[in-house]
Amino acid sequence: MKLGTSILIVSLNKEIGNVLSSQLANVLSMHFADCKELIEYDLFDSGAILEKCGIEYLTKREKSVVRDIATYENSVIFVEYDIYKNNYELLNKISPSIYLKCPKRKLAKTEPISELDFEQRDKFLQTSCDLTIEVASAGKSAFAKIIKEIKQKL
C-alpha cells in the first residue's frame, strides 16, 4: 500500500464513515473533509441546479469540487459510495484508501440497499480500496480496530 499525504475513507454507511473519519483526523492531527458536504456547499442548492441547469452541469460542477478535494494534503477525506464510484478516476489518487465495511444487517436499518446492490458495491470497494476494515458501529472498539489495522498495514 502506498502512503500519500491524505487518507480516503469510503463506507456504505454514511453515519459510521463520517464519525470514524472525523475521529481519525482528530487523532492524527489532520484536517477532516466530508466530500458530500463540500459538494453541497459549493452547489448551495443542488436540487435547484439540477432542475434549472440539468444533470450534465450538476455532474460537471461535482467533478470540479472532487478534483479540488483530490489535491488536499494532510487530510482525512470521507466519501460516500456514489461519489466515489462516479469520481473514481480522481479519488483513486488519494492513498491510502480505506473501505469501512459494515454488516448488511446494519445497513438495512439506516441505508436501505438491496442484496444485489450491497454485493456489487461491496465487491467494488474491496477491490478498489487499499484496505478493508470491518466495523459494526462508530464506537471506541471500531475506532481502535481502524488504528490497529492502519498501523499494521502502513
pLDDT computed for residue 3 by the predictor: 57
Q: Provide mean pLDDT across the span 17-26.
A: 94
Q: What pTM did the predictor assign? A: 0.86
Distances (CA, A) of 26 to 10, 67, 74, 121, 135: 17, 24, 11, 28, 19
- Of 88, 99, 86, 93, the closest CA to residue 71 belongs to 93
Q: How confident is the model at residue 107 (pLDDT cuts 50, 70, 90)?
A: low
The DSSP H or E segment spanning 108 is helix 104-110
pLDDT, tens digit, 9 for 90 and up, residues 129-151:
999 999 988 888 888 888 888 88
Position 112 pLDDT exceeds 90:
no
Distances (CA, A) of 130 to 4, 53, 143, 146: 12, 37, 18, 13
3-state secondary structure of 1: coil
Which structural domains are found in the chain, ordered by start? 7-153 (3.40.50.300)
pLDDT computed for residue 4 by the predictor: 64
Phi and psi, residue 101, nearest 5°: -85, 120
pLDDT computed for residue 136 by the predictor: 85
pLDDT computed for residue 61 by the predictor: 78
